[in-house]
Structure 1
Amino acid sequence: MNSTATQDFTSEFRDAMASVCTPVTVVTALDGARPHGTTVSAFASLSMNPPMVLVALDRGSDLLAVVREHGRFGINVLGHGQDGLALTFARKGSDKFDGIGWSLSAGVPRIDGAPGWVACSVADLVEGGDHVVVLGHVEHADRGDHPPLTYHRRTFGTHSAEQE
């Protein structure tokens, strides 16, 4: 493929993936006393026995380096109306936690008010293009009763049940 065809295909692929509704999460890890986090929509459950999840992190991210070094991470599943939080953690920089309430839970940062929570130890790291898929053994999980924050066609929204 020439570069124009490659750019066109990349754009088409990005548009196709934008039509897939995904959950919005903030993946966190702790480096000493310093919390790290980033917004991720590439998150899914993997196994019930044993309980496992997967999350894809950018190969060059600071968070991935912390997860590799410490072997633990948290997944804060965001709820409807928390798009500001998602945008805060989607940007670059080391000050993402400034002004954000959080606590240490199961050894990793848990963001105050995030309705869903999963704490994991790293089971495996799998190379996947410009990302690394982190497979995690779930060690702790909490759920909230808030509607989820979702991402679809490059906008935030939520899920609602179909009415019959």
Structure 2
Amino acid sequence: MTSRVADSLQTAFRETMAVVCTPVAVITTRGQGLPYGTTVSAFTSLSMDPPMVMVSLDRRSQLLEVLRASGTFGVNVLGSAQAAVAAHFARKGGTGKFADVVWYDDSGLPRLPGVAGFLNCRVADLVEGGDHLIVLGDVVSADSTTHSTPLTYHNREFGTHVRLEEAS
């Protein structure tokens, strides 16, 4: 494939994926006693039996290095009022992201207050995926706020899910 064709396909792919509505979460872990976190919109459930999730992380991510060493990670599923949290953890950098952020320890993992849900996971496998690695996680524990509206990402903007009225 020529570079021009590849660039054109990447542009078309990027634009097409922008219309896919995705959930937003902050993935957290600890390394040498310090908290690390990054915002992702590429995560989903994988299996109910056993409970598993998939998270896609950039190969250059500092969090990925720490996660490999720790073998554990938390999925902080953000609620619709947490767009500023998502933007904060989306910036580049490591432990400095937690300098002005309130968080607490949940079974050894950094948990953000007020999240819609939290999953405590153990790394089951890492799978190659282009410029990312797919982290497969065994869910060790799960906690959710059932009445929280989710934070979503669509057309490069944060939003939320709104239930459609049923047709009569």
Q: Which moved more, 1:124-133 or 1:98-107?
A: 98-107
Structure-1 residue corresponding to 2:89: 89
CA–CA distance in structure 1, aligned partners of residues 3 and 97 of structure 2: 35
CA deviation after TM superposition for structure 1 residue 3, in Å: 1.6
Structure-2 residue corresponding to 1:101: 102
CA–CA distance in structure 2, aligned partners of residues 124 and 12 of structure 1: 31
Q: Extract unaligned runs of 5+ from structure 2.
A: none
Q: Counterpart of 1:138 in structure 2: which amino acid? A: V
Aligned residue pairs, count: 164
Q: Extract unaligned runs of 5+ from structure 1.
A: none
CA–CA distance in structure 2, aligned partners of residues 107 and 124 of structure 1: 20
CA–CA distance in structure 2, aligned partners of residues 105 and 163 of structure 1: 38
SS at match of 1:96: helix
SS at match of 2:97: coil
CA deviation after TM superposition for structure 1 residue 8, in Å: 1.3
Structure-2 residue corresponding to 1:77: 77
Aligned Cα root-mean-square deviation (Å): 0.8
Q: Which moved more, 1:51-60 or 1:94-103?
A: 94-103
Structure-2 residue corresponding to 1:163: 165
SS at match of 1:99: coil
Q: Which moved more, 1:69-78 or 1:111-120?
A: 111-120
CA deviation after TM superposition for structure 1 residue 117, in Å: 0.4
Deviation per residue, 1:34-71 (Å, 9 max, x gap): 10000000100011111100100101111000110010
Structure-2 residue corresponding to 1:140: 141
CA deviation after TM superposition for structure 1 residue 32, in Å: 2.1
Q: What TM-score do the two structures reach when normalised by structure 2?
A: 0.95
CA deviation after TM superposition for structure 1 residue 146, in Å: 1.0
CA–CA distance in structure 2, aligned partners of residues 62 and 130 of structure 1: 14
1:1-164 mapped onto 2 (5 Å cutoff)? 1-94=1-94, 95-144=96-145, 145-164=147-166
CA–CA distance in structure 1, aligned partners of residues 117 and 107 of structure 2: 14
Check whether the contact 2:62–2:93 (CA below 8 A) recurs between aligned residues.
no
Identity %: 54
CA–CA distance in structure 1, aligned partners of residues 162 and 110 of structure 2: 29
CA–CA distance in structure 2, aligned partners of residues 80 and 13 of structure 1: 27
Check whether the contact 1:106–1:140 (CA below 8 A) recurs between aligned residues.
no
CA deviation after TM superposition for structure 1 residue 79, in Å: 0.4
Q: What TM-score do the two structures reach when normalised by structure 1?
A: 0.97
